[in-house]
Amino acid sequence: MVEQVQDGLWSIPVPIPDNPLRYTLVYAHETANGLVLVDAGWDSEETWKALVAGIAVTGYRPADVEGVLVTHYHADHYGLAERIRGVSGAWVAMHVRDAEVLANLPTDRGTWERRVAEQLTTHGCPEGQARAAAGEMQLGRFVGRGVPDRLLQNGQTLEVGGVELRVVWTPGHSPGHSCFHAPDRRVLFSGDHVLPRITPQVAAMDSDAAEDPLTDYLGSLERVRLADIEEVLPAHEYRFRGLASRLQFLASHHTERLIELGAAVSAHPGSTAWELCSVLTWSRLWETFSPLSQRFALGETLAHLIMLRARGEVIGLPSRPVRWYTAAGGCTW
């Protein structure tokens, strides 16, 4: 249900069809000219109707939206931004790094699905499952979406309805993921960077790239360790207090995962990332995962392998598929 979080600040849950996350929390700031939203929700008629109804509870219409601040480019956050812009002429703002990702996406679904399937097979996923996972990703949701017309930078300050919002660049979940810190309200709009119960996905699919998303993510946890935050307003689940303890839990979770994965590489030298997934601990049996869930798990495992490699603990043999060994084994490639 729509909730008034503070004076002039509303939380509007909008559904994500056929997704276990169930909904995205869109935050609406009242301004002198209408509303500024943080995130927009998934691009579907069901989501649009929920957003319109939620905006009505605040006393406004979609035509009154003057701007959308996007935490990151994923479809459950950015999807409806273009439709809102078409209705109201709203500006759409996103961190420059994620805007670059959008600008470089393939222009057709087929190309994107082939790219994803190739990334999966490079890391040991069987071809049939790779094609199934690529097909499940609803990649067309991104294709053809307009790019933002305002680019955000770390540390930038914005005035929204008489309240200062500071951009905190928090790469990891996406290259340009950004949180918005509102010191006057003593809240942090955390997007997918910090959630109250779920561990946000930090994934990689290209072991040859220079990016190290997990190292980025762990560094980004420290960026939001701010003493004046009383409440965290995430994009999923529910708002919560106790940011410091949640940050500690997330950092510890990844430390434990790195230890487990390093031990798995040592016990199973020459394994692909896909094969390593099958011996790691998950919330349920690996064999019961859907192709899409396996794709996400593979991406998370690869992100941890890349961080272990950066620390000099493992080595990836640049073959097809890529195979992993402990650095202590004396392998040099």
Interatomic CA distance for residues 269 and 14, integer angstroms: 45
CATH superfamily, region 3-105+142-241: Ribonuclease Z/Hydroxyacylglutathione hydrolase-like (3.60.15.10)
Interatomic CA distance for residues 99 and 148, integer angstroms: 7
DSSP code of residue 206: -
* Six-digit token string for 39: 């995130």
Mean pLDDT for 288-315 is 94
Place of tokens 């220079």: 210
* 54: pLDDT strictly greater than 80: yes
**Mean pLDDT score of the chain, rounded to an integer?**
92
Give the end-to-end CA distance of the chain in Å, rounded to a whole number. 56
Least confidently predicted of 84-93, 290-299, 303-312:
290-299
Query: Is-contact 139 112, C-beta < 8 A?
Result: yes
Mean pLDDT for 177-193 is 98
* Six-digit token string for 100: 């670059």
pLDDT in tens, 226-247: 989 999 999 999 999 999 999 9
Domain range list for the chain: 3-105+142-241, 109-137+264-329
**Residue 139, pLDDT score:** 57
Peptide bond connecting 321 to the previous residue in cis, omega within 30 degrees of 0: yes
Q: Does domain 109-137+264-329 have CATH number 1.10.10?
A: yes
* 330: pLDDT strictly greater than 50: no
Residue 263: CB partners within 8 Å, gap ≥ 6? none
Which one, of 219, 248, 244, lies nearest residue 229 by Cα?
Answer: 244
Question: Rg of the chain's alpha carbons, rounded to an integer?
Answer: 20
**Residue 8, pLDDT score:** 96
**Residue 141, pLDDT score:** 57
* Six-digit token string for 74: 């994923």
Interatomic CA distance for residues 44 and 249, integer angstroms: 34
**Residue 333, pLDDT score:** 33
Q: Is pTM beyond 0.85 here?
A: yes
Q: Which residues of 197-210 are buried (b: 16+ CB within 10 A; e: fewer)?
A: eeebbbbbbebeee
